[in-house]
Amino acid sequence: MRKFLLFLSIIAVFSSNIHAQEDNTNKIPKRIYTTKKLIQKPIIDGDVSDAAWDVVEWSSDFTEKDPDEGTDPAHQTMFKVMYDDKYLYVALRAWDANPELIQQRLSRRDGFAGDRINVIIDSYHDKRTAFVFTTTAAGVKGEEFASQNGENWDDSWNPIWYTDAKVDDKGWTAEMKIPFSQLRFGKAKEQIWGFNVNRTIFRLQERSLWQRIPNDQAGFISEAGELHGLKDLKAQKQLEIQPFTVMQYDKYPPEAGNPFRTGSDFKFNAGLDAKIGITNDLTLDLTVNPDFGQVEADPGAIALDGFQIFFREQRPFFVENSNIFDYEFANGRDNLFYSRRIGRNPHRSANLAFGEYANEPQNSRILGAAKFSGKTRDGWSIGVLESVTGNEFAEIREVNGDTREEIVEPLTNYFVTRVQKDFNERNSFIGGIFTATNRHLDGNFNELHKAAYSGGIDFQHNWHNRDYYLDGNVIMSHVLGSTEAITQTQTTLRHNFQRVDATHVSVDPNKTSLTGTGGRLELGKNGGGNWRFNGGAIWRSPELELNDVGFLRRTDEIIQFGNLSYLWQVPTETYRNINARFEQGSFYDFQGNLNRIRFEIRGEVNWINNWSTDGGYGMSTHFYDNFFLRGGPRFRRPNTGFAYLFINSDRSKMFSFTVGYSNRHSQENVTSRDRFVIRTNYQPFDAFSMSLNVEYANLYDATQYVTETNFNSDARYILGEIQNQTLTTTLRLNYSFTPNISLQFYGQPFISKGQFTNLNYVVNPIANSINDRISIYDANQISTQNDSYLIDENRDGTTDYSFENPDFSFVQLQTNLVARWEYIPGSELFFVWARGSVGSVDPANDLVDSVSNQVFEAPANDTFLIKATYRFAR
């Protein structure tokens, strides 16, 4: 801890020196637009010549943001704003001397393609969050909720509003009609809102802003201009009800003798979503029996290290306003709330006797869920989520024809509450979170936690025009259950209490609870001048457990980190901007062992021709892994270097691409990995676009973990030299008939295969050389039988132990075709066809042939789905 405090002291001294050298005295004054109440209502058709707009004046004088900040844009932009009792109206005029070059790219809602204008409204005026309404030159609408002062943009927000656009001989125009019920604001005689307008000229990759924000300024929402003149607004309490119906037909290969797999199924489902404005600041979201049938499938992935893989949330109810509930307490994915735990696949499978069949649920049914969220005028951000998933049963057909039910998932209640309070003129906040998971075990499921609780406090303070910040959080977890459940938790890979050489942790089979802590403390400079830096520490205690309703990959870790960047922000004849960055980290465990030192140098260049390059090199030294042998002793990894280079072409062109290569290599050639990436996007005409992404990775590791066994009462940790090849191809086709009618295709074949040679066992896990760490089985020690390896370690002619052949080849195909029609704002009709298959093939087969066989020859499951929603709103 003394080293860490010394490090923060050095950072503080350095920041004061930079502060003195780069004192930002040229504060950009706030622009103000004063609106007026309309006299007559305009027709929202994209034509701004309507006389109704004459009640207010145009505002212009936009300033370029990218690429040449602070200069006049290639073409100016103008806007007007007026209002009535229920709506805010915005007129936009985007001048362009070459209207034939305007990019009118059609896409579905939130496509954000082509020329576009964003209207950014901070109606809370908290200088950290904003509602963003986007109209493209093709009339496609998009919406985002911006948070973290512009660091996070959430396009899952889906309000009801109205817009249209037209291209003419002077450029293009657009009109917006935004209901006040879709915004959030407090009570005041005259509202003062943060306000900005951002225009993107796609072919030039140029952005310009009404309120100038210099590139060296920290923050974005906080630096917006202001909208005045909104007087005597009455709260428009939101009420929206959206019922849905789903008809689904599944066709799949029948399974002989299985009464539950006859070859086809038909299902009908119905549910309800609702949004109720409790106040004009706070909203209650409800869902009953939600359906996620049209949600895109998760990408294929294989975890060779044994840790859990993070998949992003894609279900609309949980995605919307997710920023309010977010509590990422450490760098990476670790979070106290991971909504994919709700409605997860059941913990158990049916216990079947020979000749029995089961119909098992794929997910836990969400009986109901509610969210209460919003932000008050005085700076309180509030989020409360309550959800219940029901008992899940597998239906089992016995040999004699009778049926029985077997519970595979218990009734579970999930509760999350999150609060934050702004103060110090919105430059600081303090917040907290509490989560609770409670299961109705009813004397069953001894392997599960009966209850799990977590909580945390977070804070941030910004000063000197938000250039400098101090940020941090502290969390605690507490889980309760049977001795079986808590013992199982202690021995999971992320905790590893059974590690044989650990002196600070050990498995206690009598425990019925576990309490742990974690947190992060960070100090840095985020704006002003050309220098940026930050440094701090992260910790996760061995006892920390979040995975009942959160996401935690590993524990028992203390990380010290520091980063230093220099920015070239003024364009030249060669580049637009450059970011050079140095990163450093040291990793310890709670026993005090230094497990790794990591360095990385990276650079990002945006070239003047709109291309960009991203490359870097790094090194990990003093590398030990507490988890590598999965309960065994610390294992020494070789010093490892890595390098990468990615090149991106101009996205404004009809055809654009990314090509990339990364390499990992180590001392003594213990491990190496080559990864190749090709991403392409092609839009031959405005209504159609396609993208093809191909990734291929080839991994060699002489010490890939295989299994653990025993020899003469001693543990044997079996490793092998693996060649793991992974190929992922993702194709997307999009055709938009209108901004509200689209057809989309998604297809992704994925294969990962691993073949092992030079099987070996650990001799001295922390030896300096790989030759001393492992011993490779010779021909007299190893033989095969029935796809298993038989080991005669002492060469006495008797098998000492055996294990299964670890070779694998996993192939997965996912495709779907979605037709979407938003027939009135907020109401949609979906027609979906999905096709998928999963299989294992001979690892000796060629990689491409295995994928081809899975796509064109392997039996697949087909799903046909029709979903209709209707949104009642007032």
Neighbouring C-beta atoms of residue 664, cutoff 10 Å: 19
pLDDT for res 111: 86
Neighbouring C-beta atoms of residue 327, cutoff 10 Å: 21
The CA distance from 61 to 77, in Å, is: 7
pLDDT for res 275: 86
pLDDT for res 297: 58
pLDDT for res 18: 45
The CA distance from 186 to 799, in Å, is: 77
Neighbouring C-beta atoms of residue 189, cutoff 10 Å: 8
The CA distance from 329 to 477, in Å, is: 13
| 295-352 per-position pLDDT tens digit | 555 566 666 667 777 777 777 778 777 778 889 988 778 999 999 899 999 999 999 9
CA angle (385, 545, 518) in 5-degree steps: 95
What kind and span of H or E run contains 316?
A: helix 316-319
Q: Above 70 in pLDDT, residue 291? A: no
Q: Among 28-42, 82-96, 312-326, 525-539, name the one with the lowest average pLDDT.
A: 312-326
pLDDT for res 794: 94
Q: Are 197 and 250 in contact (CB under 8 A)?
A: no
Average pLDDT over residues 793-815: 94
pLDDT for res 301: 66
Which single residue is written with the structure tokens 């706030």?
A: 30
Q: Above 80 in pLDDT, residue 768? A: yes
The CA distance from 680 to 653, in Å, is: 11
Tokens of 31: 């622009």
Average pLDDT over residues 20-42: 80
| 615-644 per-position pLDDT tens digit | 999 999 999 999 999 999 999 999 999 999
What kind and span of H or E run contains 505?
A: none
Q: Above 60 in pLDDT, residue 489? A: yes
pLDDT for res 298: 59
Q: Are 328 and 338 in contact (CB under 8 A)?
A: no
Q: Rounding to the nearest 10 degrees, give the CA dihedral for residues 487, 489, 492, 493.
A: -130
**How many CA atoms, within 13 angstroms, populate the side-chain half-sphere of residue 682?**
9
Q: Which residue spans within 3-149 are E strands per DSSP?
A: 32-34, 36-37, 63-66, 77-83, 87-95, 116-122, 130-136, 141-147
The CA distance from 282 to 374, in Å, is: 4
> In this prediction, what percent of the chain has a pLDDT beyond 70?
95
The CA distance from 464 to 469, in Å, is: 9
The string of DSSP letters for 239-273 reads EEEEEEEEEEEEE----TT-TT-SSEEEEEEEEEE
pLDDT band at 182 (very low <50, low <70, confident <90, very high): confident
Tokens of 738: 């209108």
Q: Among 64-73, 317-326, 712-721, 784-793, name the one with the lowest average pLDDT.
A: 317-326
Nearest to 727 by CA among 747, 698, 701: 698
Domains and CATH numbers, the chain: 31-231 (2.60.40.1190), 628-638+658-819+836-864 (no CATH)
The string of DSSP letters for 526-592 reads -SSSSEEEEEEEEEE-TT---TTTSB----SEEEEEEEEEEEE-S--SSEEEEEEEEEEEEEE-TT-
pLDDT for res 4: 46
Q: Are 652 and 205 in contact (CB under 8 A)?
A: yes
The string of DSSP letters for 604-628 reads EEEETTS-EEEEEEEEEES-EESST
Q: Rounding to the nearest 10 degrees, give the CA dihedral for residues 214, 217, 219, 224.
A: -40
Q: Let me know how long the chain is.
A: 874
CA angle (807, 813, 819) in 5-degree steps: 165
Nearest to 825 by CA among 790, 871, 793, 788: 871
Nearest to 637 by CA among 696, 705, 580, 575: 705
The CA distance from 462 to 525, in Å, is: 9
Which single residue is written with the structure tokens 């180590």?
A: 666
820-826 LR contacts (CB < 8 Å, sep 24+): 820/108, 820/741, 820/742, 820/743, 820/744, 821/740, 821/741, 822/109, 822/740, 822/741, 823/740, 824/871, 825/160, 825/161, 825/162, 825/871, 826/158, 826/160, 826/240, 826/242, 826/871, 826/873
pLDDT for res 25: 44
Neighbouring C-beta atoms of residue 85, cutoff 10 Å: 10
Q: Are 182 and 133 in contact (CB under 8 A)?
A: no
Tokens of 485: 């459940």
Tokens of 78: 């103008």
pLDDT for res 173: 98
pLDDT for res 83: 97
Q: Are 176 and 143 in contact (CB under 8 A)?
A: no
The CA distance from 657 to 679, in Å, is: 5
Pairing of strands 575-588, 624-625: unpaired
pLDDT for res 14: 46
Q: Are 341 and 582 in contact (CB under 8 A)?
A: no
Query: Tell me, what amino acid is at 529?
Result: G
The CA distance from 851 to 274, in Å, is: 43
Reply yes or no: is the peptide bond before residue 67 cis, omega within 30 of 0.
yes
Q: DSSP secondary-structure letter at 84?
A: -
Average pLDDT over residues 531-535: 97
Q: Above 90 in pLDDT, residue 492? A: yes
Q: Above 70 in pLDDT, residue 802? A: yes
The CA distance from 360 to 494, in Å, is: 28
Q: Are 545 and 452 in contact (CB under 8 A)?
A: yes
Q: Above 90 in pLDDT, residue 2? A: no
| 665-694 per-position pLDDT tens digit | 999 999 999 999 999 999 999 999 999 999
pLDDT for res 293: 53
Q: Above 60 in pLDDT, residue 15? A: no
Report how far apart, in Å, the C-alpha atoms of 615 and of each of 10, 136, 397, 580, 660 are: 29, 33, 58, 10, 9
pLDDT for res 124: 86
Query: Tell me, what amino acid is at 153?
Result: W
> In this prediction, what percent of the chain has a pLDDT beyond 90?
75
| 426-442 per-position pLDDT tens digit | 899 999 999 999 999 98
pLDDT for res 360: 93
Tokens of 412: 């579970």
Average pLDDT over residues 28-43: 95
Q: Are 851 and 751 in contact (CB under 8 A)?
A: yes
